[in-house]
Amino acid sequence: MEKNKSLEAFFTEGYKRFRDGISIDCAIFGFHKEKLHVLLSKNIIITRWALPGGFVLKEENLEQAAKRITTERTGMDELFFRQFKTFGEPNRNIQKDLFDYNKFAEIAGFDVPQNTWMTQQSISIGYYAVSNLSESQPQIDIFNSECKWFPIDEIPSLGFDHEEILSEALHTLKIHLYHYPIGQTLLPDKFTLKEIKNLYEILSGKHLHASNFPNKLIGLGLIEKTEEKRNIGAHRAPTFYKFNQEVYEQMLKEGFVLV
């Protein structure tokens, strides 16, 4: 009953809490078993999967809204995220056969009001975020029935213009890969040089030199050797490395060039 009241209040009075016509859509990426993943959610009224998103509260700026949405969906705070593009095609939030009004009425106990604030023309500001998939706990809310990770090569058909948003997010991620220390939030605290090389190869789609690439990271001071090694039996045990947090914070603010 409380869920029904919350849903009805959102549709009928949400305009009192949220900015008109401004929403956030987030492409949240994770890395698992040498594959890039993206977090998708399934709305109780929408027939297709979509990127996590939401409207901007009147007291929030855009970055605060993006941080709130990513935290609510992943259960993680302090993720690396960046704004990458605004999407504002006319009727971008209108799509044939996208809404299951009968199912919604059955679940919520009321019909979706016609001509509400939510059905007006809107723009969406795209953000991407990167997270440690193994530490995330995908969350649902009163609007969603599912929220889970998908390998980037197994993405289902997405609603609205979210296929375009995801494509732009991936493009921007590849560019930013060489200017921000994105790898820290995708790798465990300790990793081998082979693991960080594999990560950058998968994200960039490029083959990287086995020694030149990690030596560049070491030379920048971004990663440093630990005293620990991976236990792999009789074989030569690779050394673990970690990010230098002080250098990471500096490069996160100022950027760098990795070529």
With a cut of 70, say whether residue 259 has pLDDT above it.
Answer: no
pLDDT for res 150: 96
pLDDT digits (tens, 9 = 90+) for 176-233: 988 998 888 888 889 999 999 999 998 888 899 988 999 999 999 999 999 998 876 6
Q: Which domains does the chain have, with CATH numbers?
A: 2-176 (3.90.79.10), 182-254 (1.10.10.10)
Nearest to 148 by CA among 8, 37, 11: 37
Contact 224, 244 (CB under 8 A): yes
pLDDT digits (tens, 9 = 90+) for 64-102: 999 999 999 988 887 888 999 999 988 777 666 777 777
pLDDT digits (tens, 9 = 90+) for 16-55: 899 988 999 999 999 888 889 999 999 877 888 999 999 9
With a cut of 70, say whether residue 4 has pLDDT above it.
Answer: no
* Three-state SS at 5: helix
pLDDT for res 257: 83
If you average pLDDT over residues 137-158, what whole number do you get? Answer: 89
Residues 6+ apart with CB under 8 A from 132: 30, 31, 76, 185, 186, 187, 188
pLDDT digits (tens, 9 = 90+) for 92-135: 776 667 777 777 777 777 777 677 777 777 899 999 999 888 88
pLDDT for res 34: 83
Query: Rounded distance, CA 173 to CA 200, Å?
Result: 11
- What stretch of H or E contains 80? strand 80-87
The one-character DSSP state at 191 is B
Nearest to 175 by CA among 85, 94, 74: 85
Query: Rounded distance, CA 183 to CA 79, Å?
Result: 12
What share of the chain has pLDDT > 90, as a percent? Answer: 47
